[in-house]
Amino acid sequence: MLSLGIEVRGLCKSFSKRKGFIRSRRTVAHALRDVSFEVGLGETYGLLGPNGSGKSTLIRVLSTLLVPDSGCVRLLGFRLPGEEAEVRRRVGRVSVDAAFYKKLSARENLLYSAFLYGMERAPAERRVMEILEALGLDGEKFTDPLEEMSRGMQQKVAITRALLVNPPLLLLDEPTTGLDPKSKRDVQTFLEALRSEHGTTILLTSHDMAETERLCSRIGFIAKGRLIAEGTADELKRVSGAETLDDAFIALAGEKLDGEEAGGKKKEEEAVAGA
């Protein structure tokens, strides 16, 4: 019987970058270095790390947008690389930089996505309004062009799009970035209800400590492409001798979640595409 929603083994991914124009040379940036972890069915697992740590690269590999250099992944029992089509049917993804047809309204963008999944118009509209109301989006703005919406409103539409077909697995890359505190709470409450009512498996990346502690049963710390520690919030604080999750990360990773070295010196950001 399937007991794991996500299984990652020895995942590696690097990017090549050209330096210079006349005498150009290529350098290699390692975005993921031998990353391994598991997420149980119906579990919410959090990944905490600064920009450039590899979080977004990992989400893109799991959502079939990038092919790993080595290692293997199983999502709901389906293997990557190899069974991308099966994975795409079962995964919802929310990115911090979600793409839309900006000239179209929220309604038109969402109905277009619903039609791609084979949903009929009437049930699709009901589902869309149900999610938007739960997320606290003003229905009057449903017909406004996306380009006229705030960053926070656009992010709510992106979350709605990912949840249209009740996917059994959600990959959420900083989903509440740009949202006001009330909207953040609305999203968090909705995600808790999804896991409770539908057994949805969720992988969440975030910079928000309170959000991660609220939503995630276990948390992984990722820095410079490596998963350096994982456990419950209490376990991570205990093993690091820290009182807060932020201090636990600094103690174990040697850097802050905003990308600065623990000693205060700004670290050089890795040249990692999308990490």
Average pLDDT over residues 71-80: 95
- The full DSSP string for 144-180 is SBGGGS-HHHHHHHHHHHHHTT--SEEEEESTTTT--
CA gap 32, 81 in Å, rounded = 16
Model confidence at 219: pLDDT above 90 = yes
pLDDT score for 139 = 63
* Position 248 confidence tier, pLDDT thresholds 50, 70, 90: very high
The average confidence (pLDDT) of the chain is 86
* More confident of the two residues 86 and 51: 86
Q: Are 222 and 36 in contact (CB under 8 A)?
A: no
pLDDT score for 95 = 85
pLDDT score for 240 = 94
Q: Which domains does the chain have, with CATH numbers?
A: 1-6+16-90+168-275 (3.40.50.300), 99-166 (no CATH)
pLDDT score for 21 = 63
pLDDT score for 241 = 94
Model confidence at 215: pLDDT above 60 = yes
User: Using omega within 30 degrees of 0 as the cis cutoff, is the peptide bond preceding 181 cis?
Assistant: no
Q: What residues contact residue 118 under an 8 Å CB cut-off, 6+ apart?
A: none
Q: Are 266 and 260 in contact (CB under 8 A)?
A: yes
Model confidence at 268: pLDDT above 70 = no
* Position 267 confidence tier, pLDDT thresholds 50, 70, 90: very low
Distance of CA 148 to the CA centre of its chain: 25
